[in-house]
Structure 1
């Protein structure tokens, strides 16, 4: 079931800072830090699970399996990327129910044409506004709990301009979206205009190396955003750390002091070995 804490935090005007997670280890580590939400990134999940780009190649089933594991192993409310809803209106309804049953607290769906692409890459195209409004209506009707939030994203800024993106954002809110997400504004002034003109809780995407300026949580809240995600932080940090570690091993034939490793004992705790050892003490024959 969705966690009501996310809706309550937004209603109370709290700012929600959410790191991107993409598989169980990243989720377990982020869950310990006390964030108000975790964001399951489609880009990172597809790259981690399939080794492929975020270009509409992952299926609903590919994503749901990973998302279900993350929700099961964490206690923090989860916001999860659902791309375009994985198909037509019936698929949208099925996706909403599946994500909600998995324990997701907020689903993010966008107005791109299929196959979709990462929101900070070129050549994205969007569906007619009326088609996306229908998806929002279906998503709102399909959810079982009002604590399950619908985040509606428009990718129209890059191809059609900011005026169109704001127009769509306003329409999304009117259609029943709980949170509006205008993807990839290109300046702080554009971000301010989004907040000034759209009367709804708003979502900011802080992508390291992306099209949007990286602002602090305090500044995002000051502008008027309700949620700020850092979807790429985890997998970019992992990529840098693994590249350095593997290169060190190849160059030296062993791991040197140049590599900072997570303590093995603490990692055992992270993944739950103490519970296994307690079980063995109680039940296993020795």
Structure 2
């Protein structure tokens, strides 16, 4: 009730242990706080908090318009709702080295287990769109070094994302991944890999864990978890999938409502009231309330 039963430090340790376990860590994107306990209940290893989803929920494109305050708040809301580790998208760190340092500490205070910082220029673009620009190697390395220096809890996972594959090619991505690892990154997120062979090349280039981004309608095919395991991927995210599923269903049912004037036919497809109450732990709140307030008011003297 009210909050996760595990401390941020415990969840960070679990994240690090998962990354080192040799078992693929599966992190669906928790697009709302309520989706986080569902991800946990269904047996996934963690929950991802997507910057693209946060922007979309605000009606904004994914071009760096969200603020650190908004991102930290959503990170706190989702991390509170699950005992699983959470990994959050910190975009470019909302600026350069000093901004990156503050970003790390704000997200650390929000209770996330890890964050990733990318090497795009400001303002950034969605990683699966054309026309991206990346910063020079010195700036990319400086961002990661600043993040590592600002970290107060050594358990917090600092991941480096590089978008250079779509700009300069695979060899450049491998070289940059090595440099980011040397700067202190705990893991590497190579964005927009075109094939399993490309993931394997990044795996061979670094010694730290690597992430695969399985986002629909992107540059990468939707490889299976087994295919990703076979090429040495340690962590897979499905960042926007649940939002897309939900919004697709919402649109279909709104059309039905417009055409028929009722949602009676949609009821079998809806989450039930009982299921909602299970996920938000309604019964535990009721029991707690009774323990606090279940007493008789004494009569007047």
The question of a shared fold, defined as TM-score above 0.5 by the shorter chain, is answered with yes
Equivalent residue in structure 2 for 1:116, among 115, 118, 124: 124
Contact 2:165–2:173 under 8 Å retained in 1: yes
TM-score (norm 1): 0.95
Alignment of 1:163-178 (within 5 A): 163-178=171-186
Equivalent residue in structure 1 for 2:189, among 181, 187, 200: 181
SS at structure 1 position matched to 2:207: coil
Deviation at 1:9, TM superposition (A): 1.6
Cα distance in 2 for partners of 1:195, 1:276 equals 46
Deviation at 1:14, TM superposition (A): 2.1
Unaligned runs of 5+ in 1: none
Equivalent residue in structure 2 for 1:29, among 38, 41, 49: 38
SS at structure 1 position matched to 2:34: helix
Question: 1:118-170 CA deviation, whole Å, 9 max, x = no partner?
Answer: 11112110111111111111111111222111110001111111111111001
Contact 1:21–1:44 under 8 Å retained in 2: no
Unaligned runs of 5+ in 2: 1-7, 297-301
Deviation at 1:26, TM superposition (A): 2.1
Contact 1:23–1:45 under 8 Å retained in 2: no
Alignment of 1:214-229 (within 5 A): 214-229=222-237
Alignment of 1:1-286 (within 5 A): 1-2=8-9, 3=11, 4-48=13-57, 50-258=58-266, 260-282=269-291, 283=293
TM-score (norm 2): 0.90
CA RMSD of aligned residues (A): 1.6
Deviation at 1:280, TM superposition (A): 4.4
Cα distance in 2 for partners of 1:85, 1:218 equals 32
Moved more, 273-282 or 190-199: 273-282
Contact 2:159–2:188 under 8 Å retained in 1: yes
Contact 2:24–2:233 under 8 Å retained in 1: yes
Contact 2:73–2:110 under 8 Å retained in 1: no
How many residues align structurally?
285
SS at structure 1 position matched to 2:121: coil
Contact 2:34–2:81 under 8 Å retained in 1: no
Cα distance in 2 for partners of 1:154, 1:238 equals 29
Contact 2:33–2:78 under 8 Å retained in 1: yes
SS at structure 2 position matched to 1:119: coil
Question: 1:231-264 CA deviation, whole Å, 9 max, x = no partner?
Answer: 1211111111111111111111111335500111
